[in-house]
Amino acid sequence: MFLYFRPYLSCHRHRLLLSTFLRNPNPKSSKPLLPCLLPHSIRRLSGQIAAMDATVDSLRRAVSEKQAAAEKQGEIVRAMKADSGASKLEIDAAVEGLKGLKAEVSALSAELQAKLAVDGSNGGGLSREAFREKVVNTLERRLFYIPSFKIYRGVAGLYDYGPPGCAIKSNVLAFWRQHFVLEENMLEVDCPCVTPEVVLKASGHVDKFTDLMVKDEKTGTCYRADHLLKDYCKEKLEKDLTLPVEKAEELKHVLAVLDDLSAEELGAKLKEYGITAPDTKNPLSDPYPFNLMFSTSIGPSGLSPGYMRPETAQGIFVNFKDLYYYNGNKLPFAAAQIGQAFRNEISPRQGLLRVREFTLAEIEHFVDPNNKLHTKFKDVADLEFLMFPREEQMSGKSSRKLRLSDAVSKGTINNETLGYFIGRTYLFLTSLGINKDRLRFRQHLPNEMAHYAADCWDAEIECSYGWIECVGIADRSAYDLHAHTEKSGVPLVAQEKYPEPREVEKLIIAPAKKELGIAFKAEQKKIAEALEAMTEKEAMEMKANLESAGEVEFHVCTLGKAVKISKKMVSISKEIKKEHQRVFTPSVIEPSFGIGRIIYCLFEHSFYTRPSKAGDEQLNVFSFPPLVAPIKCTVFPLIQNQLYDEVAKQISKSLTAAGISHKIDITGTSIGKRYARTDELGVPFAITVDSTTSVTIRERDSKDQIRVSVEEVSSVMKEVTDGQSTWADILWRYPTHSSGPAE
Amino acid sequence: MFLYFRPYLSCHRHRLLLSTFLRNPNPKSSKPLLPCLLPHSIRRLSGQIAAMDATVDSLRRAVSEKQAAAEKQGEIVRAMKADSGASKLEIDAAVEGLKGLKAEVSALSAELQAKLAVDGSNGGGLSREAFREKVVNTLERRLFYIPSFKIYRGVAGLYDYGPPGCAIKSNVLAFWRQHFVLEENMLEVDCPCVTPEVVLKASGHVDKFTDLMVKDEKTGTCYRADHLLKDYCKEKLEKDLTLPVEKAEELKHVLAVLDDLSAEELGAKLKEYGITAPDTKNPLSDPYPFNLMFSTSIGPSGLSPGYMRPETAQGIFVNFKDLYYYNGNKLPFAAAQIGQAFRNEISPRQGLLRVREFTLAEIEHFVDPNNKLHTKFKDVADLEFLMFPREEQMSGKSSRKLRLSDAVSKGTINNETLGYFIGRTYLFLTSLGINKDRLRFRQHLPNEMAHYAADCWDAEIECSYGWIECVGIADRSAYDLHAHTEKSGVPLVAQEKYPEPREVEKLIIAPAKKELGIAFKAEQKKIAEALEAMTEKEAMEMKANLESAGEVEFHVCTLGKAVKISKKMVSISKEIKKEHQRVFTPSVIEPSFGIGRIIYCLFEHSFYTRPSKAGDEQLNVFSFPPLVAPIKCTVFPLIQNQLYDEVAKQISKSLTAAGISHKIDITGTSIGKRYARTDELGVPFAITVDSTTSVTIRERDSKDQIRVSVEEVSSVMKEVTDGQSTWADILWRYPTHSSGPAE
């Protein structure tokens, strides 16, 4: 179950309210109007951003003070001019003063504007948007991805991977299989995307997997309600230089709590700010929930509704019983699935990050809830990386480097198994080429988590869109198996057989139905149920009170009142029973990877430019590690020459046999141009044929070159692309080639 | 575009009719009531089956003759008994005769029944159904696959791959990528499943991708019309022992032409045979077309209809322009895609062979229609395998071994590129473990092909369901690119630049609009169009006739009549023009692989049983080659012993590092049982730890064992599972281990 997209958060929130409802007959009164205000606004104000905001605030304050002063001075000037008693000298002085104030207003406004612009920049001066445009242009031009069905003007939120993008995706998935499935002996399954309604009813998606939508009342065009409110607030904050500080505070607050607003609250805000349809300025409908699943119908009758799965996890949960059996009825074990998932977004934005169809790779690691240790935790215990625990977020601090073993032993991370997967995820992402300084593990705040979850961490990667949730790692306790057990009637449970029977003390609460019936008539059933539902502590307290006082007050939630219970109405005792086994619903730890998001962040982290040799242009480079590079190497004859072409073809053949993807280019284009073209595809190695016996191998980022014999070249390539050796390992084994082919 | 499923065939047929219609104002009259009767019925009667049918026919004839004789004799007996003149002796003799005839009838009926039963058997005595049941039971028990959403009673036509099935699928796809994409430098793309209507409108799926359906008129239950007719005919032929030979002939003929029946013809047959709803015996509706695509809606407005793609090919066609550019504007090149496809079957049958969601791997190889040679054809030219050309099918012969180079040079296979892919497909399938004697390449008969297709061959694999189309390899000419060019307005074309401009003679037909207008008024437009549409031959003939006679009769199709054209109404000439390049729509050769079907056939071809050592039971074995085996080896300590366990774990670790999937089993179960369990999963090698320095490796099928040192074992495993060496290569390099662990 993929936690990080907003819809799912909203789904969790709904479930949270639902559970509140079940336990509390009047949930409305217990829900604050703007819930979770504090943690969210604190989170948004953390660290550096808080400092930035402080400067902006003081500038705003200065602008409005000077503006007020200038207005006052203007009035003075007007009054002086109207009053014939003022001398020209006096008036000139006042006008000078006014000019000075106006100049100060515009200087401060310019400063404010500059500050707001920096807010969106990417450190090195290039704004985030400009950097993104450069990356995206390169990606589209080199067909890393293509807007789907482009010749028919495309469909928002649908993208194709073109040849290099497709190769990267398939490399990322192959490595995921090696790193997780093979390494952990996981049970991989492959379930259909078409899913009958009953399954997604049980999981909660049919009822709760929604976003709030508004419609243009005249044209019927649909918008995401929170997007409109967000755009309004951001626009005001970034562009309106006369915005009073108090108003700015309010808008920032709205942005902070945006995800938590109910339909009513969102509607009220849209009305309050006078927000209309962006394209037509027509009035908007009230917000209402829109289910994000693509719906369809299974079979020809039209009577079997189905959906395209919004995540792959449910396919694993419904198979739990078989998989547990396959694993020899032993815990722990993990199942995994890679596959397409679908979300019918209302209005997709953020390019490759929010799309309507995407590949998920999900793991469901089933454990005994009483034992969440992990035998291989020691393998990752010493890793140190950026974590952003709940406390740091709530106290306005930044993320910081923590040692994994400390985070688990201090209870920051709930348990070893969760910690193990956080560590393995860190290794996975950084092996792909994600910059470890722009990767953090952020713990969910209490209000972000579903009520049943024990602990959740997101791997967030920083890119031009900000910190993006790319992997969710959650301890979901027994929620999902419970839900399917209940709906299907098939118990999805595990057994632990005791080596020998155990004597267990059991609490027995036996309501005396006859006595209850005499005393309470029709209400007796609910009272009996409430008695049976008491915890051990409550029951033992009642027993003591009944013995001492003969009668107690007992609050029955389902009746919304207290009743008097006497000694003869219930018998409470403890009995010793023999048990041969324990039957329980396993907990599940769920690492869920959004493959498309990871790949997009990888594109941004790998992209850089460097001047061409002539210095007349900036050349684009993707610094993909060999593991993920779409093409591992190129084969170029230095000059057009039949002998060199033959050698190149021979090398190409042996590379193919070794399973190394490569590109052979025997056009006469200059070697520099050929390097530049393939640097832009992220090809890590270039083999240049400049003799019939040996060749040069050039590494993309360092541009270092070594000489290797024709016979050896494919095995050397195999070594560095398989990850058996690094370029550094190879470099000292072969002569470097300094007077190499001119680039 | 996946050719081999029946719906697509029906789609082709519809297109064929459509094109006939466009060229012929009265298509109905030109369409035979039961089209393509001859070739189909001949195909079904080919070879051995024809012989079988002959025996059955003569038995049927004998049964009905004897039956008639018995009835006659019965009458005689009755007449004798009624006629008091007959003596008891005479009557007894007649009764004996009757008894004899009745005995003959039942003996012949039994023989006929036996013959009909053999028809469904699998050679070795075990009937096809019994064999299939054995395989399928093993597959389900060991979770190779699982009916999807089983705990909710499943959904027809949807299956999960469980752990071993999923591993096989991922191995098959990895090999497909190596064998096709890498080896041929194909451009792999990855497009979404959700597809907007316009794309599938252009491809013809929205209008033509249908099956004929009937409904139970009372309950509304849906059935495939052809299934009901087929079931009726088969049931009659197999079970009705009194079926007259003529009736049997008729039913066999219906079966032969089943795929070609129109809705009206199917409806008439259902009525004629009195076929009713199978479950209720209620009357059925007339057959009507049901579109097999899962439909959905893209975005929240409900105004953008979409479908789950029924094939992956369209994603490639719509990207042709970009891919051609990516390939440096050069032909030929191939694009490939692996992905899910969806077909909302009316009533899925045949288990894993006809499902509602499946994985396709498709290649679109784009070529210049004037040059379909393939540079690598020589690599496959000498292959010899079973082919079933059109002529053999139509003359009632069987498939036979042909050399690929001969088939291409004799024109049996239309061109080298098509031949190349047929050869590569043969190598692909046999490398997976498909039995080459149960694999044939069958050419489509003229009536099976779309009108635009140049040639089509199916790789058919024989399994318990008969010969199953698993790969379609078609030369589809320029059809698909044409269709999308027309619909999108974006020209999907290629250019060939001439080294120097060429002088080309061009036909110029210039209708004189004024003259035509005077003569024909409103009809002039259609006449002018018809004149411009003349072929070179027609135009030059007209020119000659006009010059000699001054006037000609000209048939205008679109008017349905002939008109008189005089010399001044049209000018026909030839001009010399300079051309710098040729612009043309490429042809596409399309190999399309149904991965699930291939895997199912592989299961059947790999399955065998052998007696256990004690001889008390039959053990199941899947003889998967290492390439596809879900788990490459097992690691078993011979006996429970901490030292051996440690060695086993150490070996497991080095296997993981080498990327070899394996299973370690340190339970104390007997080694024989552990072998049997993993033979049933198709694990090719078992490593048994019976010392701390060396181990035995046992090969699954031969049960041969060798001794290898602990240090070497993972590199030996790597060698044999990577395909660098075979077991035979390894066997002589290491000491064989004859007194090995008892099995």
Per-residue confidence (pLDDT) for residue B4, from 0 to 100: 36
B114 pLDDT band, cuts 50/70/90, is: confident
Decide: B337 and A163 in contact? Cβ < 8 Å: no
**Min CA distance, A630 vs chain B (Å)?**
11
In this complex, how many residue pairs, one in chain A and one in chain B, have their CB atoms less than 8 Å apart?
A: 214
Task: Using the predicted structure, report yes or no on whether residue B39 has a pLDDT greater than 50.
Answer: no
CA distance A723 to B657: 11
**Min CA distance, A741 vs chain B (Å)?**
24
**Chain A residues lying within 8 Å of B658, measured CB to CB:** none
CA distance A55 to A43: 18
Per-residue confidence (pLDDT) for residue B117, from 0 to 100: 65
Chain centroid offset of residue B435 CA: 17
Given CB atoms, is B300 within the 8 Å cutoff of chain A? Answer: yes
Q: What is the mean pLDDT of each run of 10 residues along chain A (743 residues)?
A: 38 31 29 29 38 73 87 87 81 88 86 70 66 95 96 95 97 96 94 97 93 92 91 87 86 86 92 92 93 94 94 96 95 97 90 93 97 96 96 89 97 96 98 96 87 92 95 95 95 94 88 90 88 88 90 87 91 89 95 97 96 88 96 92 92 92 87 92 95 94 93 94 89 78 46
Report which of A605, A609, A608, A683 is spatially closest to residue A436, judged by C-alpha positions: A605
Task: Using the predicted structure, report yes or no on whether residue B588 has a pLDDT greater than 70.
Answer: yes
Task: Using the predicted structure, report yes or no on whether residue B36 has a pLDDT greater than 80.
Answer: no
Closest in A326, A344, A488 to B143, CB measured: A326
**Min CA distance, B536 vs chain A (Å)?**
34
Angle at B353 between CA B349 and CA B356, to 5 degrees: 70
CA distance B163 to B453: 40
A301 and B663 within 8 Å at the Cβ level: the answer is no
Q: What pTM, to 2 d.p., does this model score?
A: 0.83
Decide: A217 and A285 in contact? Cβ < 8 Å: yes
Per-residue confidence (pLDDT) for residue A118, from 0 to 100: 59
Task: Using the predicted structure, report yes or no on whether residue B166 has a pLDDT greater than 80.
Answer: yes
Q: Which residues 433-472 on chain B approach chain A with CB closer than 8 angstroms?
A: none
Which helix H or strand E contains B195, and what residues bound it? Answer: strand B194-196
Torsion of CA A440, A441, A443, A449, to 10 degrees: 110
A163 and B490 within 8 Å at the Cβ level: the answer is no
Task: Using the predicted structure, report yes or no on whether residue B32 has a pLDDT greater than 50.
Answer: no
Report which of B604, B415, B300 is spatially closest to residue A348, judged by C-alpha positions: B300
Per-residue confidence (pLDDT) for residue A17, from 0 to 100: 29
Beta strands A384-388 and B145-147: pairing type?
unpaired
* Sequence-distant (≥ 6) Cβ neighbours of residue B16 within 8 angstroms: B450, B451
Which residue in chain B is spatially nearest to A215 when comparing CA positions? B301
Other Cβ atoms closer than 10 A to B701: 12
Decide: B214 and B264 in contact? Cβ < 8 Å: no
The interface predicted TM-score (ipTM) is 0.82
**Min CA distance, B482 vs chain A (Å)?**
13
User: In the Cβ-directed half-sphere of B687, how many Cα atoms lie within 13 Å?
Assistant: 37
B35 pLDDT band, cuts 50/70/90, is: very low
**Min CA distance, B661 vs chain A (Å)?**
6
**Min CA distance, B673 vs chain A (Å)?**
14
Q: pLDDT tens, B494-528? A: 999 999 998 888 888 999 989 999 999 888 888 99
Which helix H or strand E contains A604, and what residues bound it? Answer: helix A595-606
Per-residue confidence (pLDDT) for residue B52, from 0 to 100: 58
CA distance A85 to A217: 60
Q: What's chain A's Rg over C-alpha atoms?
A: 33
Q: Where are the beta strands (DSSP E) in B256-403?
A: 288-291, 295-297, 305-308, 333-342, 357-367, 384-388, 400-403
Which of A480-484, B122-126, B579-583, B737-741 has the largest mean confidence?
A480-484
Tokens read off for B196: 């907007």
Closest in A222, A322, A357 to B300, CB measured: A222
A222 and B159 within 8 Å at the Cβ level: the answer is no
B295 and A295 within 8 Å at the Cβ level: the answer is no
CA distance A637 to A656: 18
Which residue in chain B is spatially nearest to A162 when comparing CA positions? B189
Q: Which residues 182-211 on chain B approach chain A with CB closer than 8 angstroms?
A: 182-183, 185, 187-196, 198-199
B344 and A187 within 8 Å at the Cβ level: the answer is no
Report which of B48, B34, B42 is spatially closest to residue B466, judged by C-alpha positions: B48
Per-residue confidence (pLDDT) for residue B476, from 0 to 100: 94
Other Cβ atoms closer than 10 A to A21: 14
Per-residue confidence (pLDDT) for residue B218, from 0 to 100: 92
Given CB atoms, is B162 within the 8 Å cutoff of chain A? Answer: yes
Per-residue confidence (pLDDT) for residue A125, from 0 to 100: 53
In the block, residue with structure tokens 């395909």: B723
Decide: B220 and B279 in contact? Cβ < 8 Å: no
Per-residue confidence (pLDDT) for residue B322, from 0 to 100: 97
Decide: A720 and A683 in contact? Cβ < 8 Å: no
**Chain B residues lying within 8 Å of A652, measured CB to CB:** none
* Dihedral class, residue A89 (left if φ above 0, else alpha if ψ from -120 to 50, else beta): alpha
Tokens read off for A542: 């009642």
Give a three-class secondary structure readout of B49-91.
HHHHHHHHHHHHHHHHHHHHHHHHHHHHHHHHHHCCCCCHHHH
* Sequence-distant (≥ 6) Cβ neighbours of residue B255 within 8 angstroms: B44, B230, B233, B234
Which residue in chain B is spatially nearest to A142 when comparing CA positions? B326
Closest in A177, A222, A659 to B178, CB measured: A659
Task: Using the predicted structure, report yes or no on whether residue B706 has a pLDDT greater than 70.
Answer: yes
Closest in A149, A192, A300 to B199, CB measured: A149
Per-residue confidence (pLDDT) for residue B125, from 0 to 100: 53
* Sequence-distant (≥ 6) Cβ neighbours of residue B740 within 8 angstroms: B688, B690, B696, B698, B705
* Sequence-distant (≥ 6) Cβ neighbours of residue B248 within 8 angstroms: B56, B57, B60, B236, B237
Task: Using the predicted structure, report yes or no on whether residue B445 has a pLDDT greater than 70.
Answer: yes
Residues β-bridged to residue B461: B439, B468
Per-residue confidence (pLDDT) for residue B29, from 0 to 100: 31
